[in-house]
Amino acid sequence: MRAARSARLPGLFVELNAGRKRPMFRQLYDSIRRAVLEGRLHAGAALPPSRGLAAELGVSRNTVTLAYDQLAAEGYLQGQPRSGVRVATTLPTRPFTKAQPPSPARGRRTPRVSTRGSAISSLLEVGWPPPVGSPRPFRPGVPALDLFPMRLWSRLVNRRLRQPPAMGYGDAAGYQPLREAIADYVGAARGTRCSAEQIIVVNGSQQGLDLAARILLDPGDEVWMEDPGYPGARAALLAAGARIVPVPVDGEGMRVEDGERTAGSARLAYVSPSHQFPVGVTMSASRRLELLRWAGQSGAWILEDDYDSEFRYRTRPLASFQGMDQDGRVVYIGTFSKTLAPALRLGYLIVPEEVAPVFRVARAASDRHSPVLEQAVLADFLAEGHFARHVRRMRGVYAERQDALVGAVKSLLGGVMEIGPTGAGMHLTAWLERGADDGAVSAQLAAAGVEAPPISRYALVRPSRGGLLLGWAAYSPEAIRTSVERMARALR
Ligand SMILES: Cc1ncc(COP(=O)(O)O)c(C=O)c1O
């Protein structure tokens, strides 16, 4: 059998190859369709009768009729394969043909971006956003994805598909039953004081940070940022045109006094008080009061990022800023990325009553609202007690995984690293000897297949001591031990 058959007709060159995966009738369909779209076969042009074309191509007549039928069904041809087929006089809306990506423009000037655009591009240097895809030890910030309650979740999804929520536009502030379930949950778990009307459901903390920064700040406003601190927050603040004022962090959290000294009239302070990112300290009660006093007196905002507060291992959590706030100066940010999974992209803000309408309309102006079906499933998950059970279970698993990490580091790397606070969260800081270059150590570990971002990556002012961030939540105790062994070999 000949592999290739061809026919040359006016405006149409057809070559069919029996060796290709694509069926012959599809190859013929492609050739004719291309000729029509490129104008080589113009409107009204006659195509050869199916029998003649089949003979010329050496294929069965059925191959030609199938191609003609398909093209007629899509509106490219009209008439009957046996009685005469023509190119349709009105063609279907022309789809885009797959274009080649433009080749990297040589000599083309980099397009000018705004001042904010160039400020935010500085985050590329710190590797933010962090790597995506399957995590490997010890990438921080990832929960135990292997223990996500997938069977239960899919049961709830299926139930919701049978009894769906209204599928028109939803409330920009979020699906009401979810807002109510969140208000109940954070009130009990974090001591917040709010009604469901103050909850704005967002696509993860990141959108909450972005909304808050745009609504609360004017370009050029000064903002206190924990140093070292969370690059995601820095990104959102820079994108809103804020001037970042680094405020050092010590064993009690942000040094409020330093902030007041350098930028007393700043408009906002960003803090992660339950488990400071990245250092891991918990902000002391006296620092919290200091910060609240400053915000109350100066009329500044406090942006409280409570990203992994559900995970405390030995001590009771301190109540949230939001619950202590008397002056309506706190915007609280919570996320389901750590308690459930980052891919859900669901989180929430608790905003003071007076600004809730502005947040709602700003959310609508940005992307209307989060997907309603997912919100409804999450509302069920919370209201039926599954969330509380899952978090309780994860707390046990994470304590075990943390023990595995701490034990392995102490026994294999005891002389090289000193472990920071371990009372909370999903990652810890392993401090290196004074003077050690944490960037170089991190690069050495990366070459050995271990991810351990250096603390200096998150710092605006060079830290006095280098360290590594080690996440443990996503990895089994065995994987943790193997990876610590690998670290020890690499650093020997
Ligand atoms: C400090 C901090 N805040 C918030 C988040 C969560 O971000 P999102 O809710 O956008 O997934 C993270 C994740 O790593 C984080 O480290």
Cβ proximity of 354 and 329 under 8 Å: no
Assigned domain for 97 exists: no
Nearest alpha carbon, ligand 1 atom 7: 205
User: Residue 305 C-alpha to ligand 1 middle, in angstroms?
Assistant: 8
pLDDT tier for residue 82 given thresholds of 50, 70 and 90: low
Last residue of a domain, one of 387, 420, 454: 387
> Does one domain contain both 305 and 206?
yes
User: Residue 307 C-alpha to ligand 1 middle, in angstroms?
Assistant: 6
Mean pLDDT of 329-341: 98
Assigned domain for 112 exists: no
- For residue 204, give the ligand 1 atom closest to its CA: 9
> Does one domain contain both 283 and 368?
yes
Query: Which CATH number covers residue 453?
Result: 3.90.1150.10
Q: Is the CB of 230 under 6 A from ligand 1?
A: yes
Q: Is the CB of 270 under 6 A from ligand 1?
A: no
> Does one domain contain both 202 and 240?
yes
> Does one domain contain both 378 and 418?
no
3-state SS, residue 41: coil
Residue 214 pLDDT exceeds 60: yes
When comparing pLDDT for 8 and 286, which is higher?
A: 286
3-state SS, residue 314: coil
User: Residue 306 C-alpha to ligand 1 middle, in angstroms?
Assistant: 9
pLDDT tier for residue 462 given thresholds of 50, 70 and 90: very high
How far is 177 from 175, CA to CA, in rounded Å?
A: 6
The DSSP code for 393 is H
pLDDT tier for residue 1 given thresholds of 50, 70 and 90: very low
> Does one domain contain both 264 and 316?
yes
Helices (H), 355-414: 356-367, 372-383, 386-413
Residue with structure tokens 């433009």? 102
Assigned domain for 400 exists: yes
Residue 117 pLDDT exceeds 90: no
Last residue of a domain, one of 387, 415, 443: 387
Mean pLDDT of 211-227: 98
pLDDT tier for residue 316 given thresholds of 50, 70 and 90: confident
> Does one domain contain both 382 and 406?
no
| The residue count for the chain | 492
Last residue of a domain, one of 387, 417, 447: 387
Assigned domain for 93 exists: no
> Does one domain contain both 329 and 249?
yes
Cβ count near 448 (within 10 Å): 12
pLDDT digits (tens, 9 = 90+) for 256-277: 999 999 999 999 999 999 999 9
Assigned domain for 101 exists: no
- pLDDT computed for residue 105 by the predictor: 62
pLDDT tier for residue 128 given thresholds of 50, 70 and 90: confident
Assigned domain for 283 exists: yes
- pLDDT computed for residue 319 by the predictor: 87
Give residue 343's identity as a one-letter amino acid code.
A
Tell me which residue of 414, 419, 481, 406 sits closest to 450, measured CA to CA.
481
> Does one domain contain both 197 and 324?
yes
Q: Is the CB of 425 under 6 A from ligand 1?
A: no
Q: How many domains does the chain have?
A: 3
pLDDT tier for residue 388 given thresholds of 50, 70 and 90: very high
Residue 281 pLDDT exceeds 90: yes
Query: Which CATH number covers residue 7?
Result: 1.10.10.10
The pick from 205, 272, 457 for probing ligand 1's pocket by mutation, whose C-beta has the most ligand atoms within 8 angstroms, reads 205
Residue 81 pLDDT exceeds 80: no
Tell me which residue of 350, 347, 40, 77 sits closest to 187, measured CA to CA.
350
Average pLDDT, the chain: 92
- For residue 342, give the ligand 1 atom closest to its CA: 11
- For residue 130, give the ligand 1 atom closest to its CA: 14
- pLDDT computed for residue 98 by the predictor: 65
How far is 342 from 142, CA to CA, in rounded Å?
A: 8
> Does one domain contain both 177 and 309?
yes
Assigned domain for 485 exists: yes
- pLDDT computed for residue 297 by the predictor: 96
Residue with structure tokens 């392995």? 408
Mean pLDDT of 374-399: 97
The pick from 277, 311, 336, 339 for probing ligand 1's pocket by mutation, whose C-beta has the most ligand atoms within 8 angstroms, reads 277
- pLDDT computed for residue 492 by the predictor: 84
The pick from 338, 340, 457 for probing ligand 1's pocket by mutation, whose C-beta has the most ligand atoms within 8 angstroms, reads 338
User: Residue 435 C-alpha to ligand 1 middle, in angstroms?
Assistant: 30
Assigned domain for 95 exists: no
Cβ proximity of 175 and 372 under 8 Å: yes
Cβ proximity of 136 and 449 under 8 Å: yes
> Does one domain contain both 352 and 454?
no
Q: Is the CB of 272 under 6 A from ligand 1?
A: yes
Nearest alpha carbon, ligand 1 atom 2: 307
pLDDT digits (tens, 9 = 90+) for 223-268: 999 999 999 999 999 999 999 999 999 999 999 999 999 999 999 9
Mean pLDDT of 47-74: 90
Query: In which domain, by residue range, is 58 found?
Result: 2-87
> Does one domain contain both 402 and 375?
no
